[in-house]
Structure formats: structure tokens, C-alpha cells
Amino acid sequence: MPRWLFAAGIAAILAALADPSRQAAAGTIPCREMYGSGGGYVCGADVESRIMDPAFVPAQTQAGAWATSMAMLIAFNGGGVSQADILSAIFGATLPDSLPPAQAQTYLNHSYTASADHSVSNTTGTALFTTPQNGSRSALRTLVGQLQNETPLLVFTSHNAMILTTIYYHADLFSRPVSLYAAVVRDPYPVQGTAPPLGVKLDNRPGERFLSAAEFNDIQYVDQMTVASH
């Protein structure tokens, strides 16, 4: 291929990626060039998480963070189970302060009844991967693919549970994920967030914040949840 033709093809790809009017698929954030952030193109994938707002309750413990995260996922899928309903169904009146990520995995497959309207939500969890895979390119592409399919993800660090709703990533010329740029979660357990990365911002939903790089690398489990509410 002549060099001028190859260069023209690359220029066309770059122009398409930089064009703000470029149409993105559902659940994606259009790519654009970033300056001062290591260069290159940054793209994103997200889910509309405002439907989780009614289920959001700040948590005082690790177990409470997991229960609120489950309640938000159930709300996302049309259910009305609360944090209190989940804690009561699993632990009764004796609530633990801590809930190790590995132990929480045993509670992902369960049936919950909402105290407000007696509706029932059945949950099934599937672990997508565990540390140390979360830092790999293939794992990043798995996260992006889930969010592009409008699937929020339940994530566990060593001390917390939260919902992953947005991923921004450095992309190659074909918009494929190469490396993490930023991750956004809905976090019920009050934690100091990291400074906003250049060029991206939050929607200011309850509990919404950016994960630090250290927290992202501390992810122990990533679970895809299936919820059937009736």
C-alpha cells in the first residue's frame, strides 16, 4: 500500500474518532482526544444509574455496603427490595460489621421479599473474574462490554462493596480498550474519592465517585448479577 494512502486512512480514522458529532452505540461514551493525560484517545462505557437512587442508603459497615449495592442492582432491574430487607433475610437480627468478599459470594444467589409491597426479587451472581486479572487488557474489555450492554457490575475490594457504572479507557485507533483511564462507582460506604481525571466528570448521583488506581487494583471480585423481580 502506498504510504500516502496508508497515512490518509489513519487520518480518516483519527478524524472520525475526534468528531464530537460521531454517533456512539447505546451504552457508550464517544471517543475524544485528551491532552495532558498521557495523550491518545479516551472512550467510555456507562449505564444510566439514576434508577438506583431510591435504593441508595449510606452504609455504616462493609456488610451494609454490600446490602445497599444489592438493593441498587435490584432497583435497576425493577425491584423494590431495600438494604434492610436484604440484611434481615441473610443475617436476621445479628448484623456483622465485616463481610469478606469471598463470603459475600455465597449470598449472591438468593430470594428477597420487599417489606414495602411484598414483591419478590430473585438474584443470581456470576463471578466474571477476580484479582489479579482486573488489571489486564482482556479484563478491561470484559468490563467495558458489560457496561455497553447496560449491565452494572457488583465489585468488591478488600474492604468495600459497590456498583461499577462507568469506565473510561485509553483506546487504540479502532476504539478498543487498551488501558484504564477512570472508573466510576456508586459507593454506599463513605470513602474519600480521588480527584476527577482530566476531561471527565460525575453526574452527582448519591454515592457516586471515582475510584483511585489503588482501589481499582484492589478489586477482589467482579460479579454480574441477574435479577428477576415479580
pLDDT tens for each residue of 99-131: 999 999 999 999 999 999 999 999 999 999 887
The set of cell numbers assigned to 83 is: 438494604
Residue with the bigger pLDDT between 172 and 22: it is: 172
Confidence of residue 192 (pLDDT cuts 50, 70, 90): confident
C-alpha–C-alpha distance, residues 207 and 210, integer Å: 10
Q: In the chain, where are the structural domains located? A: 27-229
Q: Convert the pLDDT of each residue in 30-52 to its tens digit.
A: 888 887 656 678 999 999 999 99
* 25: pLDDT strictly greater than 50: no
C-alpha–C-alpha distance, residues 65 and 84, integer Å: 11
* 11: pLDDT strictly greater than 80: no
C-alpha–C-alpha distance, residues 165 and 31, integer Å: 18
* 161: pLDDT strictly greater than 90: yes
C-alpha–C-alpha distance, residues 49 and 57, integer Å: 15
165 and 46 Cβ atoms separated by less than 8 Å: yes
Average pLDDT, rounded, for the chain: 86
Residue with the bigger pLDDT between 9 and 68: it is: 68
> Is 3.90.70 the CATH number for 27-229?
yes
- pTM for this model (two decimals): 0.86
